[in-house]
Structure 1
Amino acid sequence: MEDIYEEPNKDTEVAPALIAVHPTQNSVALAIGSDLRVFNLIGGCAVSLVENSGGALHKDSIRAIRYGASGKLFVSAGDDKLVKIWSTESWHCISTVCSEKRVTAVAISNDGSYVCFADKFGVVWVVDVDVEGLDGNQASANKKAAPMLSHYCSIITSLEFSPDGQFFVSADRDFKIRVTVFPKKPLDGAHEIQSFALGHTEFVSCLASVYTQEFPHGFLVSGSGDSTVRLWDISSGSLLDTCDIRDKAGPSEFKGIEEECCSAVTDLCTIPDSTLVAVAVQSLQGIILLRCDLSARTLNVAKVVSIKGDTFIPTSLATSVSSGLLWMVTGASNLGDLESPSLARVRVISDFKKTSPDVVQQGPTVLEDDETPGGEKLLKKLQGRVSIDEKVFSTAAEALKTSMSKLLIKKQYSTERREFRKRGRNDKKLKQ
């Protein structure tokens, strides 16, 4: 009997737009599809990326971007199995690391000495970085990554370092969060597991840390497809509190709340100098602000910030340490049915400096385009154009919802289908 099963074409996979902000807001980076766009906020101009490591720029969808804690380092990675390390002083690519599988998440150690990345097979790899050579324009020899730990065939969705750099946290689509002691010699592997944070009932989509001067070691917050944000003790893995986004924010704030997984948490971002956490939800036109009471170990909804007038459902959030601004992007690539195959829209929220409950009820403020740092030049660089027909973003939001379901919700196959997939596997690589 002829085989009739067909796998989806990878080229049609929809990739969400991603945004990252320099720690002191010197620059803003946006990735959409294979396109990496950077705007210099200090100079008020677009940045030209220079590839000096002997390779090409990204050739497939970028799935992760990240600035280092000092701002000297920037990393991009994705479906082309390339991890590119950039110097933000010159925006030269100083090294390109080849991955065996597609990359799903990246993290940079607090001192900038190591770059970690996860692949779709559930392995976390690590590569060392020549911190002293970051200011130069010459690319260093491309390094080979070493395996550091594994989640055993589960797609890793997020990677984070604890605020003090002692722990390395990884999350996967099988509901698990693993806290690992970051070793002194990570190239030799990370063998000491500190704890597991277990409690989510769907894929864990994102991680972030909340910390203050009184609590320098910080606490872990996680978002999930089960419509919850959870607060954890990093060291013990103990669940401290659970905030049900769908119930506490109110179903009237969501579009299509009856649909499966439409209220999945897609991204988290902590607001600097506060205990506020911004939450992006898959069908929410805006963000939810959560307040962490670190003394009481509680997590509560402070405010729902709606964005009126257009279909803006954030796919990625970012802040800088110094600005008190929350940067958001919505958009997707590979939208072949639309006039533009890739769409991106950037918005900014301000007025987070004062964090008393009364002030939170009055603010924050969604900035207009002419109030956005960088203005029209920034929007033209990051979005591709200044004005965009907002109606098409509803189509993009639906495409992203389908894409996330395919990527993160585990598929159930019949015995026949599994055997067919085994026969069609093409993951044997030539050893060089």
Structure 2
Amino acid sequence: MEEISIEEVENNDRELLEVAPALISVHPFEKSVVVAIGPELRVFDLEETDPMNIVEAYSNVLTVLCLFLCFCLDRGSRQISIVDDSGDPLHSHSIRAICFGANGSLFASAGDDKLVKIWSADSWKCIRTVLSEKRVSAVAISHDGLFVSFADKFGVVWVVGFGGDNEKNKAAPIFAHYCSIITSLLFSPDGRFIVSADRDFKIRATVFPRKPLNGAHEIQSFCLGHTEYISCLVFICTLEYPKGFLLSGSGDSTVRLWDFTSGSLLSTCEVGVQAGLVESNGKDEVLCPAVTDICASPDGSVVAVAIQRQIVTMGDIFSPTSLDMGSFGMHIWLVTGASNLPSFDSASLACVKVVSGFQKDSPHFTEHGPVMLENNDIPGGDKLLETMQGSISIENERKALGTAIEAVKKAMHNLLIKRQYSDEKREFRKRGRNDRKLKQ
């Protein structure tokens, strides 16, 4: 048997780390939807212009007729082209984090190219590009839209401000989970706290100061209880508790409910057990599928969880790599896919689905619960799917999506599970460290 060198092992690890899952984000009021796949952002406008508004806006009959005709010819085409005329480059490597602001006016994207790009969600023009010192793993926008915060792979959380005294091109560090990759970053519903989660099982609630560019030095609480990396966070609010509760998903196959201001664990849901996906590997070890993403309606009446190895069969094999929901809780948007797969045209490898029927007044409501919409019933229809999914032959779709799901699972495992090294390999890795090279 041919011996594998340490160098070859390292190269294989790096190849897996380059695989990035497809991401999806929905405007809070479902005005638009964004899919990120590799370095590419695909944006689709979900709003339909009412032709009667054209009639009311113009009094000239000929003008009305011409505009109405143009509207009818172009009604089905609502793909949005993003514009960056600042002279800064577009994303050149995989995008790892995307999000809308609470009021939907801003959108942020960031990833492996160390760029954080902030977009106007109205014009879809890039209004700011910030260069990070390291690759970016999470991003969040403050509720007042005055600050964008992001986290890098070293565990440092940064902030950049907008308007007045906050206007700075460079980001300032505000706090850190030193040497631990931050996997999720969120502002609390009242904007008073910023919550961060990492691969070392920790969730930290930090008081967001009035002058965050000077640092955030007050820790409100730690939420401790997960036994594997935390993969995702989401807030829910109730009338009785408007400051909100925190939901967290983890590699330990659980979703946990927290009073984040005190750090108290309120409830635990064994999602893997509930889905019947916990199994044994035959070596007295229990294999638990990781929770990869979670979304919820603001009041918590609807919570959706994506689990690795969970296959939803609706005529196709579908295992979501990301999901999101607007503020109205009308639809759950799901995407599966991955970038940098060697055997496929991975730049176009994404598949979008929508689940609906949560509310009794929904046209898709049934006594049997929510349903996966047919392509024709998805908001935006075929035009949206063409924009978001790109082109991939039908005969290759099933094989490609299966490959993407497996690649993402391996990549996330290598990224978020701390690896143990032998003494020989540890010494070999030390020789390649940048600080050692500088000293020499």
TM-score normalized by structure 1? Answer: 0.86
Query: What residue in structure 1 maps to residue 109 of structure 2?
Result: 76
Q: Distance in 2 between matches of 1:313 and 1:4?
A: 33
Task: List gaps (5 residues or longer) in structure 1.
Answer: 133-139, 287-306
Query: Match of 1:362, as an amino acid?
Result: H
Query: What residue in structure 2 maps to residue 328 of structure 1?
Result: 334
1:130 aligned onto 2:163: yes
Query: What residue in structure 1 maps to residue 192 of structure 2?
Result: 166
- CA deviations on 1:85-131 (whole Å, 9 max, x unpaired) are 00111111011000000000001111111000000000000000239
Determine helix, strand or coil for the equivalent of 2:411.
helix
Deviation at 1:215, TM superposition (A): 1.5
Equivalent position to 2:227, from 192, 201, 204 = 201
- CA deviations on 1:271-312 (whole Å, 9 max, x unpaired) are 2444221000011124xxxxxxxxxxxxxxxxxxxx422110
Counterparts of 1:284-295 in structure 2, within 5 Å, are 284-286=310-312
1:89 aligned onto 2:90: no
Determine helix, strand or coil for the equivalent of 1:50.
coil
Counterparts of 1:378-393 in structure 2, within 5 Å, are 378-385=384-391, 388=394, 389-393=397-401
- Determine if contact 2:84/2:125 at 8 Å carries over to the other structure: yes
- Determine if contact 1:272/1:319 at 8 Å carries over to the other structure: no
Q: Which moved more, 1:381-390 or 1:16-25?
A: 381-390
Runs (4+) of structure 1 exceeding 6 A deviation are 427-430
Deviation at 1:335, TM superposition (A): 0.8
- CA deviations on 1:15-38 (whole Å, 9 max, x unpaired) are 000000111111110000111110
Query: What residue in structure 2 maps to residue 365 of structure 1?
Result: 371
Q: Distance in 2 between matches of 1:351 and 1:274?
A: 16
Query: What residue in structure 2 maps to residue 296 of structure 1?
Result: none
- How has the CA–CA distance of structure 1 residues 152 and 54 changed in structure 2, closer, same or farther, with 3 Å as cutoff? same
- How has the CA–CA distance of structure 1 residues 70 and 427 changed in structure 2, closer, same or farther, with 3 Å as cutoff? farther
- Determine if contact 2:202/2:223 at 8 Å carries over to the other structure: yes
Deviation at 1:257, TM superposition (A): 7.2
Equivalent position to 1:317, from 320, 323, 327 = 323
Query: What residue in structure 2 maps to residue 40 of structure 1?
Result: 45
Deviation at 1:415, TM superposition (A): 2.6
Query: Match of 2:264, as an amino acid?
Result: S
Equivalent position to 1:225, from 222, 235, 251 = 251
More strand by share: 1
Query: What residue in structure 2 maps to residue 345 of structure 1?
Result: 351
Q: Distance in 1 between matches of 2:286 and 2:426?
A: 25
- How has the CA–CA distance of structure 1 residues 273 and 222 changed in structure 2, closer, same or farther, with 3 Å as cutoff? closer
Q: Distance in 2 between matches of 1:360 and 1:425?
A: 59
Query: What residue in structure 2 maps to residue 63 of structure 1?
Result: 96
Query: What residue in structure 1 maps to residue 27 of structure 2?
Result: 22
Query: What residue in structure 2 maps to residue 107 of structure 1?
Result: 140
Q: Distance in 1 between matches of 2:228 and 2:429?
A: 25
Q: Distance in 1 between matches of 2:204 and 2:353?
A: 33
- Determine if contact 2:236/2:245 at 8 Å carries over to the other structure: yes
Query: What residue in structure 2 maps to residue 268 of structure 1?
Result: 294
Determine helix, strand or coil for the equivalent of 2:295.
strand
Deviation at 1:168, TM superposition (A): 0.9
1:405 aligned onto 2:431: no
Q: Distance in 2 between matches of 1:243 and 1:20?
A: 25
- Determine if contact 1:51/1:57 at 8 Å carries over to the other structure: yes
- Determine if contact 1:262/1:283 at 8 Å carries over to the other structure: no
Q: Distance in 1 between matches of 2:143 and 2:393?
A: 38
Identical aligned residues as a percent: 61
- Determine if contact 1:211/1:275 at 8 Å carries over to the other structure: no
- How has the CA–CA distance of structure 1 residues 116 and 361 changed in structure 2, closer, same or farther, with 3 Å as cutoff? farther
Provide the aligned C-alpha RMSD in A: 2.6
Query: Match of 2:405, as an amino acid?
Result: A
- CA deviations on 1:137-156 (whole Å, 9 max, x unpaired) are xxx98710000110010000
Q: Distance in 2 between matches of 1:427 and 1:144?
A: 25
Q: Distance in 2 between matches of 1:422 and 1:168?
A: 35
Deviation at 1:318, TM superposition (A): 0.7
Query: Match of 2:309, as an amino acid?
Result: S
- How has the CA–CA distance of structure 1 residues 428 and 33 changed in structure 2, closer, same or farther, with 3 Å as cutoff? farther
- Determine if contact 1:83/1:96 at 8 Å carries over to the other structure: yes
- CA deviations on 1:379-405 (whole Å, 9 max, x unpaired) are 011100387422321121111111111
The structure whose Rg is larger is 2
Deviation at 1:200, TM superposition (A): 0.4
Equivalent position to 1:417, from 409, 412, 425 = 425
Q: Distance in 2 between matches of 1:34 and 1:177?
A: 29
Q: Distance in 1 between matches of 2:147 and 2:154?
A: 21
Determine helix, strand or coil for the equivalent of 2:213.
helix
Q: Distance in 1 between matches of 2:104 and 2:305?
A: 24
- How has the CA–CA distance of structure 1 residues 325 and 386 changed in structure 2, closer, same or farther, with 3 Å as cutoff? farther
- How has the CA–CA distance of structure 1 residues 246 and 73 changed in structure 2, closer, same or farther, with 3 Å as cutoff? same
- How has the CA–CA distance of structure 1 residues 345 and 428 changed in structure 2, closer, same or farther, with 3 Å as cutoff? farther
Deviation at 1:52, TM superposition (A): 2.3
Deviation at 1:361, TM superposition (A): 6.7
TM-score normalized by structure 2? Answer: 0.84
Q: Which moved more, 1:382-391 or 1:11-20?
A: 382-391
- CA deviations on 1:242-283 (whole Å, 9 max, x unpaired) are 1111222223xx8x8759766100001002444221000011
Q: Distance in 1 between matches of 2:216 and 2:437?
A: 26
- How has the CA–CA distance of structure 1 residues 142 and 422 changed in structure 2, closer, same or farther, with 3 Å as cutoff? farther
